[in-house]
């Protein structure tokens, strides 16, 4: 049985093909520059070199069709025909407060996604179009929606409400929703395994650091507070998003410049953050290189980003009381040792002591790592996220009728002996080149 997962954006469609019986990934890939012209697919099959094929995709339907044709191609594909695919899992950014768990897509679900799409204007329309496109290409299999916001529906009112007129919440659903929920679910469950604790007796601070970034306070195994808000704009300094700012600031700038509301929204989402500070770069690798070349604004951008993350770590420690572990995940969290170092420096006073050699070496997606000193009161883990696996397992369980909200459902990766086959194979090869990494592999207690 094969399960396909799709993550459709406004100009891209990312996919993974998973063999449920073998518990292994068959292929991954992405179609880029959809609707923009010059589109292409990057396709990687297990055990083969990645290939790139140019193919015009003026719509998301064309992109999904290209994915299916690539997967079933006799030479470069991995499945014989579309009948092998038994379910499709879709990422949906914003489910509002209507969903506490993943669902099979039906008319009511699509109506709900459309109802809240104004809360996620940069993502939800593309997510909806991606589902519709996939339903056209694969009309006879169940399509399942996995919402980024569902994980955070356990937050209490003191966490999710804003101190604005209460009727805004009642009439317009103005509240904190939070995002990156699928990533937080995976890393929270894996952290509990590493700690040897019941997941519902585990308190964590998880830093999902990528181009988009957020921090999650997990109390007794459930989301208790998070840095992103009604949209993904609030919280940390991100690649192109401002994160936290004085709410009066946009109005001041609009009066000074004559900018429209749409122009301001675009500036805060796409021209701010690290790009806004450096004036050139949104990618941390470019910023690090520029900093080493003496670019003072690149250094400032790094300092601002680290400062904001530190503030949230301290705040969430106060909110949680007891913290069992600090976790880094996502692209920057997993690979940018220089950013982790900046964030962790000076946290000894709150019980977090990092190991410099461990932090420098542990930059891999092939294993979970521990980068704290042996005597650190709070251990620090790097847990490579696996949102696609959560989507796959949710889709299978929904199809099989065994799925439920995460507090009543057990994932395969919650087992102490869980092994990701692809990552295990990658780790074996990586250890040949970097044997010192073995010292910092995190193992269940």
Pairing of strands 222-226, 85-92: unpaired
Given a contact cutoff of 8 angstroms between Cβ atoms, the answer to whether 367 and 444 are in contact is no
Q: Which one is catalytic: 148, 225, 324, 394?
A: 148
How far is C-alpha 159 from the chain's CA centre?
Answer: 21
Class of domain 198-383: alpha beta
pTM, two decimal places: 0.94
Q: Indicate whether 137 pLDDT > 90.
A: no
Q: Indicate whether 8 pLDDT > 90.
A: no
31-90 pLDDT, tens digit each: 999 888 899 999 999 889 999 999 999 988 899 899 999 999 999 999 988 888 999 999
Pairing of strands 12-19, 24-32: antiparallel
CATH 1.10.580.10 correct for 2-147: no
190-223 pLDDT, tens digit each: 999 999 999 999 999 999 999 899 999 999 999 9
Task: For 58-160, list the strands marked E by DSSP.
Answer: 85-92, 103-104, 143-147
**2-147 against 198-383: fold identical:** yes
pLDDT (0 to 100) of residue 149: 95
Query: Across the chain, what does the average pLDDT equal?
Result: 94
Domain boundaries, the chain: 2-147, 198-383
CA nearest 302: which of 334, 269, 332, 270? 332
CA nearest 239: which of 277, 204, 187, 265? 277
65 flagged as catalytic:
no
């Amino acid at each position: 049985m094969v399960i396909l997962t799709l993550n459709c954006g406004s100009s891209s469609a990312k996919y993974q093909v998973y063999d449920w019986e073998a518990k292994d990934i068959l292929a991954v890939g992405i179609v880029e520059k959809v609707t923009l012209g010059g589109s292409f697919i990057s396709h990687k099959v297990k055990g083969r070199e990645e290939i790139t094929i140019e193919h015009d995709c003026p719509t998301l339907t064309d992109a999904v069709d290209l994915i299916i044709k690539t997967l079933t191609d006799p030479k470069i594909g991995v499945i014989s025909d579309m009948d092998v695919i038994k379910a499709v899992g879709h990422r949906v950014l914003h489910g509002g407060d209507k969903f506490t768990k993943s669902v099979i897509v039906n008319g009511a679900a699509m109506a709900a996604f459309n109802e809240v799409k104004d809360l996620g204007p940069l993502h939800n329309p593309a997510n909806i179009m991606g589902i519709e496109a996939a339903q056209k290409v694969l009309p006879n299999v169940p399509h399942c929606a996995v919402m980024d916001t569902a994980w955070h529906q356990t937050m209490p009112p003191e966490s999710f409400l804003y101190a604005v007129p209460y009727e805004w919440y009642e009439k317009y659903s103005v509240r904190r929703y939070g995002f990156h929920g699928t990533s937080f679910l995976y890393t929270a469950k894996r952290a509990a395994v590493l700690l040897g604790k019941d997941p519902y007796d585990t308190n964590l601070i998880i830093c999902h650091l990528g181009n988009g970034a957020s921090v999650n306070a997990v109390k007794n195994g459930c989301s208790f507070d998070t840095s992103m808000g009604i949209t993904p704009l609030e919280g940390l300094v991100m690649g192109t998003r401002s994160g936290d700012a004085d709410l009066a600031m946009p109005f001041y700038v609009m009066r000074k410049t004559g900018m429209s509301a749409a122009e301001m929204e675009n500036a805060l989402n796409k021209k701010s953050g690290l790009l806004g500070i450096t004036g050139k770069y949104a990618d941390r690798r470019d910023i690090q290189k520029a900093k080493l070349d003496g670019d003072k604004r690149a250094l400032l951008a790094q300092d601002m980003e680290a400062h904001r993350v530190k503030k949230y770590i301290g705040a969430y420690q106060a909110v949680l009381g007891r913290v069992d572990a600090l976790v880094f995940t996502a692209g920057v969290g997993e690979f940018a040792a220089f950013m982790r170092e900046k964030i962790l420096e000076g946290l000894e006073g709150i019980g977090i002591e990092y190991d410099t050699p461990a932090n420098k070496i542990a930059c891999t997606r092939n294993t979970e790592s521990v980068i704290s000193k042996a005597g650190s009161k709070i251990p620090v883990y790097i847990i490579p996220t696996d949102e696609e696996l959560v989507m796959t397992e949710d889709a299978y369980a929904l199809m099989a009728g065994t799925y439920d909200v995460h507090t009543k459902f057990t994932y395969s990766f919650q087992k102490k002996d869980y092994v990701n086959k692809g990552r295990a194979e990658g780790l074996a090869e990586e250890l040949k080149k970097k044997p010192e990494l073995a010292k910092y592999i995190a193992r269940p207690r």
